[in-house]
Amino acid sequence: MSTVGKAISLLEMLGSGAPETALADLAKGAGFDKATTRRLLVSLIAHGLVEQDETTRLYRLGAGIARLALMREAQFPFLRMAAPVVEQLAAETGETVHLSEYSKRGLITVQVIESAKANRVSVQLGDVLPMHATASGIAFLAFTEARIREAILAGPLPAFTPFTVGDPTTLAEHVAAARARGHSIGTQGFEEGVLSVAAPILGADGFAIGTIAVAAPQARVRKGDIERQGASVAAAAREIGVRLFGRQGQPGRKRA
């Protein structure tokens, strides 16, 4: 792993665990020796990406992370434009709604509004959603470039539940159905007892840049709910596209 990769792994650990973490725990979790971990942390502190409490000596994410996020959002206001639509969809459905954006690392959850109901689906910010096992992933694959879709179909396709689609042919059929329908339906592929519907947010070139999804306990969902939520999530995705680009992009042609 490169030095940059090691540093990023420490940032991800600090962002996904307790608010503050000890050096020994970071080193153990990352699989680095203490000297390497300390050296990386000193460099990250110098750039404002990590802070160390002077009293406890524990480490936490620094304000520099927020600065980078604000710079990125100023250049491409994905979250700011989408947030009101996510909130509206959550209020309309009463279920958990989550927004994801695509990067080379995968489909990353950037906003979550959980249902107020006691029995609800929980989704974590920063989760990288498996393309083959989630409604969000399948919706994205249905409207992405051919080279990205083919790379996922080539595998591996790990099983997360007994219901995860692990056969490339079957997965391709699900992707084709989602493209024809305009949204995807995921049933227990990533977590048992969860049913989701998702739709792609299209960029100016007509290819997916992210997704918006509704997730609910399967026991609470009826067939009519799936149809209504599918229509609602597709409309929400279109609205986000309009807010970002001033118009809804037309689905892109397959591109190698």
CB environment 204-213: b (16+ within 10 A), e (fewer): eebbbbbbbb
Q: Are residues 47 and 155 in the same domain?
A: no
What pLDDT does 248 receive? 62
Q: Are residues 15 and 133 in the same domain?
A: no
Q: Are residues 59 and 149 in the same domain?
A: no
Q: Are residues 59 and 90 in the same domain?
A: no
Q: Are residues 63 and 114 in the same domain?
A: no
- Is the Cβ–Cβ distance between 109 and 98 less than 8 Å? yes
Considering the domain boundaries, does residue 84 fall inside one? Answer: yes
What pLDDT does 1 receive? 79
Q: What is the CATH number of the domain that holds 17?
A: 1.10.10.10
Q: Is the dihedral of CA 19, 20, 21, 23 positive or negative?
A: positive
CA distance 205 to 3: 35
Instruction: Give the number of domains in the chain.
Output: 2
User: What type of residue sits at position 215?
Assistant: A
Reduced to 3 states (helix: H, G, I; strand: E, B; else coil), residue 174 is helix
Reduced to 3 states (helix: H, G, I; strand: E, B; else coil), residue 83 is helix
Residue 6 in this model has a pLDDT that exceeds 60: yes
Provide the whole-model pTM: 0.80
Q: Are residues 61 and 177 in the same domain?
A: no
Residue 256 in this model has a pLDDT that exceeds 60: no
10: domain range? 3-67
CA distances from 112 to 5, 82, 127, 192 (A): 27, 11, 11, 19
pLDDT (tens digit per residue) in 187-203: 999 999 999 999 999 99
What pLDDT does 130 receive? 95
Q: Are residues 87 and 20 in the same domain?
A: no
How many Cβ atoms are within 10 Å of 33's Cβ, its own excluded?
A: 10
Give strand pairing partners of 198: 184, 213
Q: Are residues 30 and 137 in the same domain?
A: no
Q: Are residues 80 and 206 in the same domain?
A: yes
